[in-house]
Amino acid sequence: MPSDAVRTLLVIAGEFPPLKTIGRIRTVKFVDHLRAQGWQSVVVTLQPSGQEPNYDQSLLREIPADTPVVRLPLLDFEAKVARGVKRLLGRGNLDSSTHPAATPHSASKAGNHKSTAKPGIVDRGHALLRYLLRNYIDIPDNYWPWARQAVRAGQRLVQEQRIDAIYTTLPPFSSALVGYRLKRRTGLPWIVDYRDLWYGDVLREWLPRWRQRLEFWLERRLLKRADLIITVSEPKTTYMQRLHPDTPARWATLTNGIDVETYQNLERTRPFDTGTVEFVYTGRLFKNRRGYAFAEALGRIARMEPALVAPVRVRILGGVSPEIRERYDQILMQYEIARHFSFEGDVNQRLALEAQVNCDYLLLIVDTGETSDGVIPGKLFEYVAARRPMFALCDPGVTQEIIERSRLGRVVAAEDVDRCEAALREALASPVPQRVDADEAYLAQFDRKAIASRLARLLDEVLVTSSSSAKAAS
């Protein structure tokens, strides 16, 4: 495409390198691959402190060198207010924070200060503050202060240079507020990309009913201004179309994709004849993503056939929420299999990829819940590119279909211990596959570059439609 035909996309993304979230990959890969389709990007994202547990400076290499990035800080009201109160009461710094910019060592720092107040009173006050913020202030999430800055930054960019369209990627869901307001103020076409559902998301089932109704109303109001709404699976698109039948926007499905080039310089260095059968999970365990059935199934087999389980090693590379870790500890103690599990915490991207290509089986744990049939985790496509057999815990739906049709592994229902035990017993009784016989023709549709090409066509079509509508209105 000639240079004078290059178009510019304003990308509003709360998740972007160098923060190591699975959600960053879809956005930064679109930014990269759209360039070959005549679309350059200007990105508005988060300004990391460098102290986040998931901060990985090496990920800055993922951003194309010629892509302008505007970074805005995220104000953490919970940490700010709690620190002020505790300072007044002689408690020093905040004990903990769930804010994305929280430092992993904040709790230990807080412990170095002597307290002149009763710990119970202050801690209960902090818990009340967290409850009030999460339920009544942080709507739809704690990125709303960042979103207000992003609107101003986005409007300034539109005034200073030629922007052809606005693209917001969710979550964080506050990004939708940015797109909505920029659409109203500039008239530019607005594309909303749902990596996860907003209303109906299985990881947001904890919200009180009144809050769910409020956010549904908000989502419906915002989407009436959208020009194109994208989701990552057909079931999610169908679900949202049922929720928002009056939305005039065009609908499209663009799955996450496979980045084979990410693994091109990675070779397996661990021999297959080590006497160990290694399962690797790379990612977080939290809320509805738990995987208890795997641990219980392994424990049952260990009681009946200890020799079968003796060589097993399970590596969990990623953050585990405290309540889930507590439940794992109970299961591992009950079955006396703790020695088989290694919870290694967050690791950088390079170590995670090396673990994937060097394992015997990739353990995939998918969210459970009412809309889980439409969940296709980005992690699935990392695993596909790693080309090791999967052992997946997921309920019936598109993820199961992809794994089975591509011949990349075993799938059992996420919480079915009996079936997990049977499948795991079969896997352990068989030789570890040294290669996978994947259906490459089927997997071709998930090539990231091909998906970016489809997005570019959609963007071009939205521009034509928007231009025609503007001419008709005038």
Strands in 228-231's sheet, in edge-to-edge order, are 69-72, 39-46, 7-13, 165-170, 190-194, 228-231, 250-253
Residue 242 domain flag: yes
Structural domain includes residue 86: yes
**Within a domain: 46:** yes
Minimum mean pLDDT among 44-53, 159-168, 354-363: which range? 44-53
Flag whether 136 is in a domain. Answer: no
pLDDT of residue 123: 72
Indicate if 278 and 415 belong to the same structural domain: yes
Residue 83, pLDDT above cutoff 50: yes
What does the pLDDT look like over 335-387, one tens digit per residue? 999 999 999 999 999 999 999 999 999 999 999 988 889 999 989 999 999 99
Summarize pLDDT for 86-136 with one digit per residue, the tens.
Answer: 666 665 544 444 444 433 333 333 333 344 445 577 677 777 878 888 888
Calpha distance 241→247 (Å, rounded): 8
Q: Are residues 224 and 264 in the same domain?
A: no
Say which range, 38-47, 53-62, 84-93, has the weakest mean pLDDT.
84-93
**Mean pLDDT, residues 282-308 taken together:** 97
Residue 246 belongs to a domain:
yes
CB atoms within 10 A of CB 394: 25
pLDDT of residue 469: 72
Same-domain check for residues 273 and 356: yes
Q: Are residues 56 and 176 in the same domain?
A: yes
Q: What is the mean pLDDT of residues 140-167?
A: 97
Same domain, 333 and 317: yes
> Is the model's pLDDT at 76 over the cut of 50?
yes
Nearest in space to 281 (alpha carbons), one of 327, 315, 332, 311: 315
Q: Return the CATH number at 319.
A: 3.40.50.2000
Note whether 186 and 208 are same-domain residues: yes
Is the per-residue pLDDT at 85 higher than 70? no
Confidence at residue 119, expressed as pLDDT on a 0 to 100 scale: 56
Q: Mind listing the pLDDT tens digit for each residue in 383-394?
A: 999 999 999 999
Do 231 and 94 have their domain in common?
no
Residue 50 domain-assigned (yes or no): yes
Could you tell me if residue 19 is inside a domain?
A: yes
Cα(210)–Cα(203) distance, rounded to whole angstroms? 17
Based on the fold, state whether residues 113 and 161 are members of the same structural domain: no
Q: How far apart are CA 262 and CA 456, in angstroms?
A: 22
469-474 mean pLDDT: 64
What is the share, in percent, of the chain residues with pLDDT greater than 70? 89
pTM of the model: 0.86
Mean pLDDT of 246-256: 97
Query: What is residue 137's predicted lDDT score, i.e. its pLDDT?
Result: 87
* Better-scored residue on pLDDT, 47 or 100: 47
Q: What is the mean pLDDT of residues 131-157?
A: 93
Q: Residue range 434-455: average pLDDT?
A: 96
Q: How far apart are CA 401 and CA 405, in angstroms?
A: 6
342 domain residue, yes or no = yes
Query: Does residue 44 share a domain with residue 103?
Result: no
The pLDDT tens digits of the residues spanning 395-408 come to 999 999 999 999 99
User: Are residues 245 and 171 part of one domain?
Assistant: yes
Q: What is the residue range of 455's domain?
A: 3-74+143-257+448-473
Tokens of 93: 């710094």
Whether residues 67 and 169 fall in one domain: yes
**Domain count along the chain:** 3
461 shares a domain with 422: no
- The mean pLDDT value of the chain amounts to 90
